[in-house]
Amino acid sequence: MRIKTNDTVEVIAGDDKGARGKVLKVDLVAGKVTVEGVNRVYKHVRRSQRNPQGGRLSMEMPVRISNVLLVCRSCGKAARTGARYMDDGAKQRYCKRCGAENGQIAPPKARYARK
Ligand SMILES: [Zn+2]
């Protein structure tokens, strides 16, 4: 799983294909992400204490992680993401299109450091 909360991703399949948005939530168990403005549905809610008006509530539903790509911070394109170890043993994501680094995903570990 190489997508984290607050990443910008692009949807590559389905109704919202081509849409970009910020990741609001990541569900590691289900392999799904909730993206701002993507897969919006109307939830019909009854009148209740919390919601005395009732009516329709627009909200995003999670989408499969395989249907989104991380948008590269460097080239700005949606590209496949790889992971690699740096000289200090930290793990980072990188863009497979331009090779730029896209944020650290694990702290440095001596085991993986290059001597
Ligand atoms: Zn890139």
| Residues 84 and 62 reside in one and the same domain | no
71 forms beta bridges with 78
Q: What is the distance in A from the centroid of ligand 1 to the CA of 102?
A: 8
Distance, CA 8 to ligand 1 centroid (Å)?
13
Q: Are 72 and 99 a contacting pair, CB within 8 Å?
A: no
DSSP 20-79: EEEEEEEETTTTEEEETTSSEEEEEE---SS-TT-EEEEEE--EEGGGEEEBPTTT-SB-
Q: What is the residue type of 30?
A: A
Residues 35 and 80 in one domain: no
| Domain co-membership, 62 together with 84 | no
| Tokens 């692009």, located at residue | 10
Total count of domains within the chain: 2
Task: Show the domain range for 3.
Answer: 1-48+56-71
Kindly state whether residues 17 and 65 are assigned to the same domain. yes
Residue 100 C-alpha to ligand 1 middle, in angstroms? 5
The per-residue pLDDT string of the chain (115 residues; one tens digit each, 9 = 90 and over) reads 789 999 999 999 999 999 999 999 999 999 999 999 999 999 898 888 887 888 888 999 999 999 999 999 999 999 999 999 999 999 999 999 999 999 999 999 999 988 7
Distance 52 CA to ligand 1 centre (A): 48
pTM, entire model: 0.83
For residue 89, how far is its CA from the centre of ligand 1 (angstroms)? 22
On whether both 36 and 92 belong to a single domain, the answer is no
CATH number at residue 17: 2.30.30.30
